[in-house]
Amino acid sequence: MTIYTTAIGNYVSQRVADNRQWYESKNMLDGATDLPKSAEVLYHLLQYALFLLINDGHTVMVLGVSSDDKFALANHLPKWQITCLSPVLDTLQQAAGEVVDFADIFCTIQNASHSESKTDWSVLIARLKHRYMASLNKNTHNHAQISHLLAVFELLLRAFFVMNKIRSLPDLVKTLQSNLFFADIIKAQQTTSVALLYLQPPIDYVYQHEILWLWTHRAYQAEMLLMRHIIRLAGANVPQFSLDIPDGINDKQRAAMAMIGNQAFGIITGGPGTGKTFTVAQIVIALARQQVPVRLSLVAPTGKAAQRMGESLQAAMPDDVELQLPEPKTIHRLLGIGTNGQARHHADNPLPQDMIIIDEASMLGVELASQLFAAIATGCRVILLGDANQLAAVDAGAVLADLCRIDSLGDLRVHLDESRRFDGKSGVGRLATLINQQSYDNKAFLAFTQLHQACHDVAYTDIEAFVEPSSCYEQLAQPYQDFFAATYASRFEFAKLSDDTIPEFINNLFNILNKYRILCAAHKGDFGDEKINEYLTKIHKKYQKMPASLSDWYHGCVVMINKNLYEFGLFNGDVGICLYARTGLTVYFEGESLRAVPAQLISDAVVTTAYAITVHKSQGSEWQQVAVVFDENNARLLSKELFYTAVTRAKSQVQIFSTADAITQAMTTPTIRQTGLAKTAEIITQVG
């Protein structure tokens, strides 16, 4: 994405300039509307930095909060300044593949700007660019990438020169106030200024309590609209309904049921086995017993999560209740989002449902959540389900975690904390709790070691003990032996099965497969899922004594769909097993109904091998035994949320393949996403 952000910035700045000139020619603007070069440079730097932050899951840049940034302190740079520059600095450092001495570069610019003699900036910039390019040339970059990185490097230098003349954060705010590329949100909502109404600045900001919040206009609109729609839905008057409280339900579950019975909007959170699904099942049963029919939808962010939601809800239904649940859907499918990205349902054409239950809400990004809540009609009951300790969405935002932190929504949420899956003896449950409770100290790995030594269901293998990664892969492959044997036994027999016996065979094969899964932090590297899948593919083929083939498809291979394929009834996250059937290689997908697609009809672009998958892809799934694999090369991805999510995918046993340092980092590094949803709630309270 970052390759195009400078082009976007150039396009936007040209649009702002064109708009200014047009309205100026019509005498429709109030006051001066000059666009000095320094204003444009500042906009380009902050816009590029915001795009980089969005790419990492953030929605906002926050300046003025306390920081211990060593770079800032060592070089006497203001903390607000280094926060602005850091996303770009990180990108340039990573591209160089070595430590570039930006402290010395900034010092050179500072000295030049303070020099009494006139500085030839073109010569200075050319010299510094040549210095940076020497680092780039040591790495594999094509011409287009090098040109882009040098343009970003030059932008950084020019922006630093501009920022160096701004003494403090309040002075920066004054600079933004006179810059047409930036809009003060509070002022914009209270003013009648034609300039602010028509120029549509691309960056929005709020400065309050000595803290500056900066959004791209699109990110601000998504968070503001989402918050407004939640307030709208939560404030609706809905008919109350009574609930028959079943035996064995705890006080928190009672509170959750009462909340939904009395309110239009509710959030139910909790870890694995705390009864979220059971609680919702009782609510669904109570609704079904009402005299007035209720139009209910069950939705989740991914196809896999939606499928599991339906299965879990059905399993939670008492034997004496006959209730046909609606087919769970992805949010995209519920909204009718087509290949062009346009939704059939939106604010002007709302959904007809009376109740919508949204599972795995931790996976919700702010843009999709904003689209979804805009399309829900006032008076529709909405229930959000999820585990706020899990990984946040792949897309920008952390909607569930944000909503759980907003004080004004406190009466709209219940947290379930009594797990029936993991009791006090469960090592998996104890490890999940340990990860959530860890703060940064040097005793984290010691606590982990003591736990795995005391619990037979938590194992640890130090990957530094392996001379070659392949030795680790061999151990990772061992729990798949039953699956390998089952596919080998059926290699020449599956095609002979009758149509009546195929569904049972497929179900049994998936039961064997789902006893185990390998979860990785990343795709790349020796311990990423790509290399592990490559190795497991080889040994699976070898186990079945298969001849060499140019095709990636073979009997027994495990695959995952990574894009919704509505024409086949397949969704992102669906797992399939390829088998040699009567009609040739066919991929069978797990689920209540048998879904079979000829392998030749599935493009390589929409499917990946899935003996090992990333932790992100594992959300919404569970297996009896899980192997979790990561090392220091995954440092940027390691966090408490990633480790917790991986561990809680295991029902009964987890084995960690890692190092002491990587585990310490994973246990003590919280995912800190800078988001503005709570801030938009404050703004709505202020200005309405």
Any bridge partners for residue 298, and if so which?
Answer: 357
Q: Is residue 271 annotated as involved in ligand binding?
A: yes
Q: Using a CB cutoff of 8 Å and minimum separation of 24, what contacts does 576-584 make?
A: 577/487, 577/506, 577/509, 577/510, 577/513, 578/553, 578/554, 579/487, 579/490, 579/494, 579/555, 580/491, 580/492, 580/494, 580/495, 580/555, 581/494, 581/495, 582/495
Any bridge partners for residue 588, and if so which?
Answer: 577, 596
Q: Is residue 664 annotated as involved in ligand binding?
A: no
Spell out where 220-283 has E strands. Answer: 265-270
How far separated are the first and last CA of the chain, in Å rounded?
35
Q: What is the C-alpha separation between 29 and 194, in angstroms, rounded?
A: 6
Q: Is residue 252 annotated as involved in ligand binding?
A: no
Q: Is residue 273 annotated as involved in ligand binding?
A: yes
Q: What is the C-alpha separation between 669 and 672, in angstroms, rounded?
A: 9
| Residue indicated by tokens 């990343």 | 522
Query: Helix 102-114 to helix 121-136 angle, to the nearest 10 degrees?
Result: 180
Contact 329, 360 (CB under 8 A): no
Helix (H) or strand (E) holding 629: strand 623-629
Q: Is residue 378 annotated as involved in ligand binding?
A: no
> Could you give phi then psi for residue 294, rounded to 5 degrees?
-115, 125
* CA-to-CA dists, residue 472 to 95, 527, 659, angstroms: 30, 9, 13
Spell out where 309-468 has E strands. Answer: 329-330, 355-358, 381-386, 413-416, 458-462
Enumerate the H helices of 544-586 as residue ranges.
none
Burial of 633 (0-12, 13-18, 19+ CB in 10 A): middle
Helix (H) or strand (E) holding 661: helix 660-668
Q: What is the C-alpha separation between 435 and 430, in angstroms, rounded?
A: 9
Helix (H) or strand (E) holding 436: helix 427-437
Q: Is residue 274 annotated as involved in ligand binding?
A: yes
| Residue indicated by tokens 């609930």 | 243
Residues comprising the chain, all counted: 688
Q: What is the C-alpha separation between 339 and 181, in angstroms, rounded?
A: 33
Task: Please give the radius of gyration of the chain, using alpha carbons only, rounded to the nearest integer.
Answer: 28
Q: Binding site for ATP: which residues?
A: 270-277
- Which parts are annotated binding residues? 270-277
